[in-house]
Amino acid sequence: MKIQIINGPNLNLLGVREPGIYGSNSFESYLPKLKAKFPDIEIEYFQSNIEGELINKLQEIGFSYDGVVLNAGAYTHTSIALQDCIRSLKCPCVEVHISNVHKREEFRHHSYISCACLGVICGFGLASYELAISGILAQKETEG
C-alpha cells in the first residue's frame, strides 16, 4: 500500500512558524514517527508553496497510489483548481489541518476542497496525519 502526504504553502515552516498554533516540531522530524506507526505502508512526502506543483503531484500519483493525505494550507480556502483535481483522482484524498480551523479566522471556516475529499481531519496537531491514514485504511477495509 502506498500513501502520499502532500503539504501546501508555508508548511515547510512547521516548527518555526507560529508554534502556538502549529507546534514546535517540523514535519520532517515527525515523518519517521508516522512511518514507524504504519510499517506496512509506503508513505511518501511532498511539500510545495506553489499551487500548480501540488496539482502536478496529485495528478502524478492519484491514479496509482492507495490514498492521499492533503494539507493544502491556505489553498484550502481559495482553490477550485485543487478541488477539480481531487475530483479527477482514482484514490481517496483526506483533507488535513493541524489546527482547528473553525476556532480561527472566519475565512478559514470554508474549504473549497472538502466536498471532493473522503473526509476532513482538523485540530489534532501533527496527529491529524495519523488519523487521516487510519481513515484511508478503514475505507479500504470496507471496500473489501
**Catalytic residue among 65, 75, 97, 129, which?**
97
Residue of 22, 65, 75, 112 with catalytic role: 22
**Dihedral (C-alpha) 96, 51, 67, 107: value to the nearest 10 degrees?**
30
Catalytic residue list contains 129: no
**Helix/strand/coil (H/E/C) assignment for every residue in the chain:** CEEEEEECCCHHHCCCCCHHHHCCCCHHHHHHHHHHHCCCCEEEEEECCCHHHHHHHHHHHCCCCCEEEEECHHHHHCCHHHHHHHHHCCCCEEEEECCCHHHCCHHHHCCCCHHHCCEEEECCCCHHHHHHHHHHHHHHHHHC
Is position 22 annotated as part of the catalytic site? Answer: yes
Residues annotated catalytic, as ranges: 22, 97
